[in-house]
Amino acid sequence: RLRPERGHPPGLLLTAMSFFRKTDPLHPHDDPRYPVRKTEAEWRAQLDPMQFQVARQAATERAFTGKYWDHWSDGAYRCVGCGQVLFEAEHKFDAGCGWPSWWKEIEPGRIERLEDRSLGMLRVEVRCARCGTHLGHVFDDGPEPSGERYCINSAAIDFVPRGDAGPGDPEPSAG
């Protein structure tokens, strides 16, 4: 993990973005680049009000209130918008932040990283690369080997116990 150089304020670490891999400029959640697209009415019919606010309007649930922040069952976590598997339970860890956290996505390409300059700071937003669902943010303060912490809203994901994976999605690895 990269750390700020001596004499530079810690905030400069985020401006480099080099440790976060490539990030894309922010674009709408209904951008045509997403393979799964629905109307606002379809999203509202599929998602409950909190899921809609988080997934389609980039809201954040309050810390320690989501159903998965303290959930430790064996299985996988899917996008609430399209069902794509994003994370495995074996890569989840307790970051102490009140949101479910992972140090690794299930495989490259399922999660999109976007530059987020909201709230007067620079962060990296993470979205489902298949449908544009806002998941949360990724930070550089996670455990090794990645050094990353995917801080994810419970309202943006669903849990699937091991053995219940659907067609076309990998079964969570045996460890």
Which residue numbers are catalytic?
A: 151
Beta strand segments in the chain, E? 75-79, 85-88, 92-93, 101-102, 111-116, 123-128, 134-139, 149-152, 157-161
DSSP-derived 3-state class of residue 83: coil
- Identify residue 54 by its one-letter amino acid code: V
Contact 106, 88 (CB under 8 A): yes
Cα–Cα distance between 44 and 55 in angstroms, integer?
10
3-state secondary structure of 124: strand
- Greatest alpha-carbon pair distance for the chain in Å reads 52
Specify the DSSP class assigned to residue 164: -
Helix, strand, or coil (residue 42) = helix
